[in-house]
Structure 1
Amino acid sequence: MSGADNADDESGAESDGNGDDRVPVLLVRGDREYLVEPGEEMGTDLGVLDVPEDVQPGDTLETHLGDEFHVRRLRGPDLFHHFERTGAPMVPRDIGLVIGETGIARGDRVLDAGTGTGVLAASMARAGASVVTYERDAEFADVARENMALGGVGDAVDVRTGDVLEELDGLEPSSFDVLTLDTGDAPDVVEHAPELLVDGGFVAVYSPFVESTREVAETAREVGLANVRTRETIQREMQFDDRGSRPSTAPVGHTGYLTIARNE
């Protein structure tokens, strides 16, 4: 179990991908959040909670000490907070940019490389896409598979252990609507985007460093991709208090650079 919140999509996530139809739910009390499965027993400092098999969002459960928890449906942004992490996952705002810029929707087929924790892959699946994602580290890949099951998208996300560049011969040409990359060798993969993508398909490449981002953009243009554009993903949280209103002075905002291109 882990703690925290985010946006559900139309796919609904009705199965964990392992033949188990129990959909995890969030138990919320104040700023506490616990992700649990129906039928699970959860121990907290507020007492023990028995989660019924037929638990539903909107229910209220009591611990054996009488403390109440509200049951909430797992939604997309909650994956960021509750997935087991093998590194820094892509933040919800950047996931939103990827999905919004590429138009990922039900029925799309996505090739993803650099699975990591798997938040992006799971979010795209919850938007209705079928995702094939590659992770070089076998242990990270195992964690990602567990996360896919937890997020209810185990049937929609195929987590493969390996380097996508070494597996290109096994991928059917022109069979993906979107290519998403979060890897150090993204420029090398972008070289193959025209042969992997359908006409009009999109490439979305995320990088925390401007040097690799520039190389991605240059490679995209060299191989004939269109509408190549790069944006820094940055937002400032607003702060409101008795003195007035202004952007927060906390040292946050930059998360990386997102390059989008399209196959003509």
Structure 2
Amino acid sequence: MRPPVVLKSGRNFYLVNEFEGELHTHKGIVRLDELKEKRYGDSVTSHLGVEFKILPFSAADFFRLFRKKATPVMPKDIGMIIAHTGLQPDSLILDAGTGSGVTAAYFAYFNKYGEVVTVEKRPEFAEVARENFRMAGLKNIHQIVGDAVEVAEGFKREFDLVFLDMKNDVEMVPVAYRILREAGFLAVYNPYIEQTKAVYERMLEVGFRDVESFELIKVNLEFRRVGTRPFTDIFHTGFIVVGRKI
């Protein structure tokens, strides 16, 4: 079976994982059977004469093209967590609060020799994430549906990284400390300052060291004839707290 491909036309991207029938877009209809004999870099044309470039489906497309049931963590924040914690490609990671699966997918992609355990309390979210993982061909993700605090109490293995994107994150902090290996990291994502402060203080209380809290701002540049200026569609996404078990 051919893996999914991405059709790109201008700023529009379309994920294709079936190669029969038609893809209907505002730029015209694309016959999907034409893709069977095409290679990456080739093009197909819609009935309106618009050209679509054929690209491989990769990690660059997870955030853009995954189905979304919950608001996902932005790639800029995920990238900082991966870099800040020094993620190794053979790690054991706990992702508490799967949502649509974007964060777990990035962790799994860059952790190709390791494993990601992702826990989601809401079955409807877990179902969407499961389909996203399947579509991305990620086989090193283990999904659990349930309350992360209760589920984690039963873990016997030690994790290299625990990531929290969940409502009761303060309650989860001491559990994360217990299941982390020595020198392992806890990273917590939260959209609100008050909850971020509570997490920060709780992490210090239970013994985490090198605790930091910060926000990342991504500002795009707009180039026009009259000059260049910054612009952004979304200014605030969330706050991150990172600490280490030392």
1:205 offset after TM fit, Å? 0.3
Partner of 2:5: 25
Aligned to 1:226: 209
Match of 1:142 among 120, 127, 132: 127
Cα distance change, pair 237–75 in 1 and its aligned pair in 2 (3 A): same
Query: What is the DSSP-based 3-state SS (H/G/I as helix, E as strand, rest coil) of the residue aligned with 2:53?
Result: strand
Query: Aligned partners of 1:217, 1:121: CA distance in 2, in Å?
Result: 23
The corresponding residue for 2:238 is 256
**Retained in 2: the 8 A contact 1:40–1:52?**
no
Q: Identity over the aligned pairs, expressed in percent?
A: 37
Cα distance between partner residues in 1 of 2:88 and 2:22: 36
The residue number in structure 1 matching 2:43 is: 60
Q: For 2:184, which of 189, 196, 201 is the aligned residue? A: 201
Q: Which has the higher contact order (CA 8 A, sep 6+)?
A: 1
Q: Which runs of 5+ in 1 are unaligned?
A: 1-20
Task: Give the distance between the partners of 1:123 and 1:40, measured in 2 at CA.
Answer: 29
- Whole-angstrom distance in 1 between the partners of 2:144 and 2:95: 10
How far the C-alpha of 1:251 sits from its partner, in A, is 5.8
What is the Cα deviation at residue 242 of structure 1? Answer: 2.7
* Normalised TM-score (structure 1): 0.84
When residues 95 and 42 of structure 1 are mapped into structure 2, their CA distance, relative to the original with a 3 A threshold, is farther
Question: Residue 18 of structure 2 contacts residue 32 of structure 2 at CA under 8 Å; is this kept in 1?
Answer: no
C-alpha offsets along residues 182-222 of structure 1, whole Å, 9 cap, x if unaligned? 01111111112221111111111000001111111111111
- Write the distance in 1 (CA, Å) between the matches of 2:145 and 2:37: 36
CA contact (8 A) 1:47 1:67 kept: no
Over 6 Å off, 4+ runs = none
- Paired residues in the alignment total 241
Cα offset, 1:62, TM superposition: 4.2
| Counterpart amino acid of residue 169 in structure 1 | E
Matched-pair contact (CA < 8 Å) for 2:68–2:100? yes
The Cα shift of 1:100 comes to 1.1
Q: Structure 1 residue 81: deviation in Å?
A: 1.4
Q: Quote how far apart the aligned CAs of 1:240 are.
A: 2.4
Matching residue of 1:152: 137
- Does the aligned pair in 1 maintain the 2:19–2:32 contact within 8 Å? no
Work out whether residues 159 and 181 of structure 2, in 8 Å CA contact, stay in contact via their aligned partners in 1.
yes
RMSD of the alignment, in Å?
Answer: 2.0
Q: Pick from 170, 188, 208: which aligns with 2:154?
A: 170
Contact 1:112/1:132, CA 8 A, preserved across alignment: yes
Normalized per residue, the structure richer in helix is 2
Distance in 2, matches of 1:40 and 1:104, equals: 40
Partner Cα separation in structure 2 for residue 232 and residue 226 of structure 1: 19
Q: Structure 2 length as normaliser, TM-score?
A: 0.90
Q: More deviation in 221-230 or 29-38?
A: 29-38
Aligned residue type for 1:163: D
Of 49, 61, 79, the match for 1:78:
61
C-alpha distance in structure 1 between counterparts of 2:132 and 2:220, whole Å: 29
List runs of 5+ in structure 2 lacking aligned partners.
none
